Amino acid sequence: MGTGGEVLIPASGLECAHRVPVPPSRPFLETFRANLKETFFPDDPLRQWRHETAASRRFLLALQYVLPILQWAPSYTFQLFKSDLVAGITIASLAIPQGISYAKLANLPAILGLYSSFVPPLVYAMMGSSKDLAVGTVAVPSLLLASMLSREVSAIQQPALYLHLAFTAAFFAGVLQMALGLLRLGFLVDFLSHATIVGFMGGAATVVCLQQLKGILGLQHFTTATDLVSVMESIFTQTHQWRWESVVLGCGFLFFLLLTRFFSKRRPEFFWVSAAAPLTSVVLGSLLVYLTHAENHGVQVIGNLKKGLNPPSLTSLVLSPPYMMVALKAGIVTGIIALAEGIAVGRSFAMFKNYHVDGNKEMIAFGMMNIAGSMTSCYLTTGPFSRTAVNYNAGCKTAVSNIVMSTAVMITLLFLTPLFHYTPLVVLASIIISAMLGLIDYDAAIHLWHVDKIDFCVCIGAFFGVVFGSVEIGLVIAVAISILRVLLFVARPRTTVLGNIPNSNIYRRMDQFPVAQNTPGMFILQIDGPIYFANASYLRERIARWIDEEEDRLKVKEEDSSLQYVILDMGAVGSIDTSGISMLEELKKNVDRRGLQLVLANPGSELMKKLDKSKILETIGQEWIFLTVGEAVGACNFLLHTCKPGSVLDEACTSAPDNV
């Protein structure tokens, strides 16, 4: 096999042009290791590690890899702390009311919202690799948790069991997240496409808002179902139960919150206005109730919050059937969603500041965070978008802002819980609604419609699935569509005819370049994408049909030049497996039977290697493989205009065998 690259012009006058060499075969283990690395360690986490030699330094590096805080803590300055302090306090003022609201959403005692904003942030501050992520509970998984657990256990009749199941779910979610990270399976999260998430999140937000109508209208009884129909039903069947006091209160605060949000959007420097608004409305609401004693007039309040820090909950994990399975299922589902949101949020903010977030590392951090949380009376936490955005706007510099937040929450837990006694639930409802409205991303959906109709359908499918079915149904629909789409992508690679760009040696897709022209006597086809078992038989039949149609076309046009050569541009065939190779073999047979000559242009290294190993290279003939379509066409033209195919070219090129 030649080293390739050099130009040779044999006596025949035909330019064999550049040869495509067969790459030297590397030992199996080497290639295997390389592939494994590329697949599971594309970020090459041990880069510096390898450069280090001293054992002590290596140990430190390893420690720093597990606990990123050790990387940046030494260089932490007072300057940084000042910004982090501001950011921390800001998100704390958001975290406390949100935490309580979401806990209520999950049918859990309000205090859990505070607990969950105390321990997990500390864990993340040590292990997380994002500088902007603010840790806390999230609405959608909270609702999901409620809807999944309530099906087996009633939060009202068996509050203790329900609580323990929530801890257990968080535990399993943590284990799952950690496992995904350790097994480097982060890429599985990517299979939830952006379109899917937009639709799912929008639908979930809508559902959450609908749930809040209970609080706004001050209803005592409410459906446990989450779909639009049954919610509307249960609202309009008990119109006589509506309490105007709570309606007024709720709408008032909602208006206030949306106003501040709108204001802060217009004037980003006043981000703190919308950030502080929730706490403000809690304070105002509580005062109002305290002064007017509205709690006796149908305005429900939080009531007593137990003072003190998180009690340990390791012993209350439910690790035995039958209830374990419920927790496991809930843990897996909520864990995946929380993970997807957390990773996405972390990545997008890292992008603004141009630093890298290691997906797998993040998963391990989230996992540890939830495992630790599940043992200290916290339920599922992740990096919520709203809170992280506030954190970012508040100018946080490092994860210290999380530490500040959890300190603030700790102080609240120790001394300030009584102040929340009179906080009206309706205020929490309006806080949730205003937060959720931000999650319904119309623009994204419209953008999808403009750019990619199928993605739009995926998005809408997920949305309606959630709104009219249930959150799980929506999720299942979303994932199913995503996976099916991948399979379709894989099963149907595009094949396009190439034509010559006038006065150039360039060949491009004819459907794309109107100016491109057919080359008489040849049919040039490009295969877009890798060839393997999932699409080999499709490609075999599709290419056969292309050739059929081309021959029909020529017959109809009665062109003098009949088809002689089929040139395949393999430039886009990045990888190929054995099914793909045998597909090529069959194609070669098929083309021979038609009395045509198969020519390959620009095959990749993997393709060449496998063609060589599978001995098909001989069948096709190395002399029929060219570096570019242009050179292939050149050689074929030479033959067309001198003699019948095969003979001369073989001579010409085989006359210099060590170049073949």
Q: Per CB under 8 A, which of residues 34..63 are in contact with its own copies?
A: 35, 38-39, 42-44
Nearer to its own copies, 30 or 558 (CB): 30
Minimum CB separation from its own copies for residue 493, in Å?
6
E strand or H helix that includes residue 596: none
- 619 membership: H or E segment, kind and range: helix 616-620
Of 235 and 625, CB closest to its own copies: 625
Q: Rounded to 5 degrees, what angle do the CA atoms 107, 472, 152 make? A: 50
DSSP 303: -
Binding segment for its own copies among 61-69, 233-241, 255-263, 448-456 (CB under 8 A)?
Answer: 448-456
Total residues at interface with its own copies (CB under 8 A)? 99
Stretch that binds its own copies, among 138-146, 282-290, 296-304, 350-358 (CB under 8 A): 350-358
Residue of the chain from 220, 224, 230, 512 that contacts its own copies (CB under 8 A): 512
Among 407, 520, 542, 660, binds its own copies (CB under 8 A): 542
Q: Which H or E run includes 402?
A: helix 400-411
Candidate list 52, 245, 538, 655; residue touching its own copies; CB under 8 A: 538
The stretch among 311-319, 406-414, 537-545, 633-641 that binds its own copies (CB under 8 A) is 537-545
Work out whether 634 is an interface residue with its own copies (CB under 8 A): no
How far is Cα 660 from Cα 656, in angstroms, rounded to an integer? 7
Q: Which is nearer to its own copies, 15 or 152 (CB)?
A: 15
Q: Which is nearer to its own copies, 256 or 513 (CB)?
A: 513
**497 SS3 class:** strand
Backbone angles phi, psi at 527, to 5 degrees: -105, 120
* Minimum distance of its own copies from residue 631's CB (angstroms): 9
Q: List binders of its own copies among 306-325 (CB under 8 A).
A: none
Contact window for its own copies (CB under 8 A) among 29-37, 124-132, 209-217, 409-417: 29-37
Q: Which part of the chain contacts its own copies (CB under 8 A), choosing from 30-38, 108-116, 307-315, 370-378?
A: 30-38
Q: What is the Cα–Cα distance from 274 to 437, expressed in whole angstroms? A: 14
Which position has the token pair 């950011």? 87
Interface pick for its own copies out of 13, 31, 308, 446 (rule CB under 8 A): 31
Report the alpha-carbon distance of residue 118 to residue 364 in Å, rounded.
19
Interface with its own copies (CB under 8 A), residue from 98, 193, 386, 388: 193
C-alpha 215 chain-centroid distance = 33
**What does the alpha-carbon distance between residue 15 and residue 8 come to, in Å, rounded to a whole number?**
7
In 10 A of CB 628, how many CB atoms? Answer: 18
555 binds its own copies, rule: CB under 8 A: no
Q: Is 450 in the site for its own copies (CB under 8 A)?
A: yes
Q: Which of 203, 493, 621, 645 binds its own copies (CB under 8 A)?
A: 493
**492 touching its own copies, by CB under 8 A:** yes
Please tell me whether residue 455 binds its own copies under the rule CB under 8 A.
yes
Q: Is 150 in the site for its own copies (CB under 8 A)?
A: no
349 near its own copies (CB under 8 A): no
Q: For residues 252 and 634, which CB has a smaller minimum distance to its own copies in the complex?
A: 634
With CB under 8 A as the contact rule, which of the stretches 54-62, 106-114, 168-176, 585-593 interacts with its own copies? 585-593
Query: Burial of 194 by CB count in 10 Å (0-12 exposed, 13-18 middle, 19+ buried)?
Result: middle
Longest dimension (CA), the chain: 106
Q: Binding of its own copies at residue 534 (CB under 8 A)?
A: yes
Q: Where in 402-442 does DSSP place strands (E)?
A: none
Helix (H) or strand (E) holding 496: strand 495-500
Sheet holding 565-569, edge to edge: 507-509, 495-500, 522-527, 565-569, 597-601, 625-626
Residue 244 engages its own copies in binding (rule: CB under 8 A): no
By beta-carbon proximity to its own copies, the closer residue of 164 and 609 is 609
Identify the H or E element spanning 498: strand 495-500
**109 is written with which tokens?**
């005692």
Closer residue to its own copies in complex, CB, 42/418: 42
Tokens of 416: 């300030």
Pick from 107, 211, 377, 602: which binds its own copies (CB under 8 A)? 602
Count CA atoms closer than 13 A to 559's CA, side-chain side: 15
Among 151, 494, 553, 555, binds its own copies (CB under 8 A): 494
Stretch that binds its own copies, among 204-212, 224-232, 360-368, 600-608 (CB under 8 A): 600-608
The least CB distance from residue 176 to its own copies, in Å, is: 18
Residue 430, CA atoms < 13 Å, CB-side half-sphere: 29
Note whether 184 binds its own copies by CB under 8 A. no
Stretch that binds its own copies, among 122-130, 323-331, 396-404, 538-546 (CB under 8 A): 538-546
Cα angle at 593 between 591 and 599, to 5 degrees?
25
* Choices 113-121, 192-200, 213-221, 244-252 (CB under 8 A): range interacting with its own copies: 192-200
Of residues 466-485, which lie at the interface with its own copies (CB under 8 A)? 482
Where do the DSSP E strands lie in 516-644? 522-527, 565-569, 597-601, 625-626
The distance of closest approach from Cβ of residue 33 to its own copies in the complex, given in angstroms and rounded to an integer, is: 12
Please tell me whether residue 336 adopts helix, strand or coil conformation. Answer: helix
- Of 69 and 344, CB closest to its own copies: 344
Least Cβ distance, residue 202 to its own copies (angstroms): 15
* Cα 132 to the center of its chain, rounded Å: 19
Q: Does 589 bind its own copies (CB under 8 A)?
A: yes
DSSP symbol at 416? I
Cβ contact 182:364 at 8 Å: yes
Using CB under 8 A, pick the residue from 65, 513, 651, 655 that binds its own copies: 513
Q: Which stretch binds its own copies (CB under 8 A): 100-108, 209-217, 306-314, 535-543?
A: 535-543
Helix segments in 193-322, DSSP class H:
194-217, 228-236, 244-266, 271-292
CB 315 → its own copies: shortest distance, Å? 37
What is the token pair recorded at 9?
Answer: 């012009």
3-state secondary structure of 2: coil
